[in-house]
Structure 1
């Protein structure tokens, strides 16, 4: 597929957007971010850190669980100012929930295997959710909840066999995307191959399938994030899927950092103009923002924007690991406790 580069213009009367940085009170790496709305935001990361803001990121308070030492909580899913779930990346692989704004936490799941390593956790609604771990005994470990994370059980569906070395990346809690009626997409890497894999499911209780994505896979490369985007004018009226990633060790431009699917994730191809280098998260900017329906992707080396998903333009050299959107605002966080709001 080829399209003409669509340059990004903000108009003479519109100020150029920018990242507005705010202090979080921590210097740890933040890889989990969940905005309930434009005011209530939760973030999580290294050293068992969880922080919460009630004013759109202007001020933060620590609210992490006690007794978990240096465990990294790279996934956070928040439902309100009081209710949230977190998942650990590392051993032990645990899931926790709070119902009082982080004053207290209850451990609701602990994996039995030392091979378990939670990469992503997402919810369809206030009750139904999934958490996905690296393979245990040759297949991804997937646990599900039907009560908002108060209890979890292993998914009964048998998943495809993992490739040797296959794993996912707990970089931004964005390698898992959930859609309507139980649909989902989950990206991996890890295996030495010219292609990464995407696990898909078409609905509740449906079988999982693995498809190839033309993004190189290795111990340090693969699919890091997936999102749905707006239809591409003149190309398709379908809702496209986008995935980003690359090699997180790369200090220069990676050959492939983004791919697109126009058939619900069954087949994939490279975008026309790639993001500048490795990217760990991607999302569509919500309605109400001056950049509504643009796509934004971030990584340690900076931020790129696209108004069609096929052509990406560098936007900022400030690095982030992950993104989340409130009702109209986009937020980002990253290393050294960095947090910003897109203005």
Structure 2
């Protein structure tokens, strides 16, 4: 949207915090801890205090990629003790805003830069960032790409704000080496002022091998658009997260599986409150209900704990929150400023944001 121009596994935390009072039905073995006390983000110095990292891809407890302003991309393979600057030279030279990065492993990643016209680009590396290839450059001045997602190592999509009244999508079936604009016929009409937010790389998310969802804001109501055929046809439903202003709506989605998902957002302006900043779904995004106890302020990113039925994280400029009951209630976890969050299959959770901040969730 144009307005936004050391590790831990869940089981280990469960053992550490098992003495805490049980207040949530978190299921059985391997689920999330019943209480978040004693955990928080451990900062991992990047040396990039002038960069804001809104793009993040967690590969494992040891490995992660971050992408941000000034064309910057960093990669760690030692849990954040050191970072390798693998920024694409052309992106640095042009000062591109890299707002999303999706990594398949420590060597392969796809990054998205945002902006009007040819500022929106897709870059790809197969050698850990030693070299990058530009695989897409937008030539339509009406398009503005916000985020991207992958279903698997071959199939992915990238989302633009509406063009001619409908959201525009790019598709790849070769791991990001080439991209094609999808036909708009299956996309519902956008609401006046409706767009996606390029805040955390989570306004477009895959939920399984074919399902994909879009988070919107800026219109009269916030909506979630859902496709079960990799973006060919769509349906749109309202979200209880307030909208009605260009700064308000759903900023991020996170899905545990095809059915179970979270939406977070609010009003990103620091002087405005966000009293209903989260919602949840249990039917694949067909219907949404408001969180009973939402985060206390605007949140721009969300992620589920791996192998957990009920635990997830939400982050934003004023702090981080945790839910242990699938998004119905949220509790404060950390007061640090972060824009996005991602958890790897092995349980390593990372967050990143302004002033070069990167954190890994650890026991304190």
* TM-score normalized with structure 2 length: 0.84
- Residue 195 of structure 2 corresponds to which residue in structure 1? 167
1:304 paired to 2:324: no
Distance 1:16 1:10, change over 3 A: farther
Taking structure 1 as reference, are residues 276 and 229 closer, same or farther at Cα in structure 2, changes over 3 Å only?
farther
Q: How many residues were matched structurally?
A: 327
Q: How does 1:87-126 map to 2 (within 5 A)?
A: 87-91=112-116, 92-126=119-153
Cross-structure match for 1:334:
353
| Equivalence map 1:191-340=2 (5 Å) | 191=219, 193=220, 195-204=221-230, 206-217=232-243, 218-229=245-256, 239-251=259-271, 253-287=273-307, 293-308=310-325, 309-326=327-344, 327-340=346-359
**Which whole-Å CA distance do the structure 2 matches of 1:323 and 1:146 have between them?**
26
How far does residue 262 in structure 1 lie from its aligned partner after superposition? Answer: 2.4
Q: Indicate if the aligned counterparts of 1:82 and 1:100 stay in contact, CA closer than 8 A.
A: yes
Runs of 4 or more above 4 Å deviation:
4-12
SS at match of 2:170: strand
Structure (1 or 2) with the greater helix fraction = 2
Going from structure 1 to structure 2, the CA distance change for 1:205 and 1:174 (only over 3 Å counts) comes to closer
Alignment CA distance shift 1:325-1:157 (3 Å)? same
Aligned counterpart, 2:162: 135
Alignment-derived partner of residue 235 in structure 1: none
1:177 Cα deviation after fit: 1.7
Distance 2:300 2:73 in 1: 20
Deviation sequence 1:7-44 (CA, Å, 0-9, x none): 999789x9711211110121211000001222221100
Corresponding residue number in structure 2 for 1:58: 81
Superposition deviation, residue 201 in structure 1:
0.6
SS at match of 2:209: helix
Residue of structure 2 in register with 1:30 after alignment = 53
Contact 1:113 1:136 in 2 (8 A): no
Alignment RMSD (CA, Å):
2.4
Alignment gaps of 5+ in structure 2: 1-21, 27-31
Assess if the C-alpha contact under 8 Å between 2:24 and 2:34 holds in 1.
no
1:96 and 1:215 map into 2 onto residues whose CA distance is 33
In the alignment, what sits opposite 1:234?
Answer: none
TM-score where L is the length of structure 1: 0.89
What SS class does the counterpart of residue 355 from structure 2 fall into?
helix
Deviation at 1:228, TM superposition (A): 2.2
* Deviation for aligned residue 1:253: 3.9
Tell me if structure 2 keeps the 8 A contact 1:10–1:16.
no
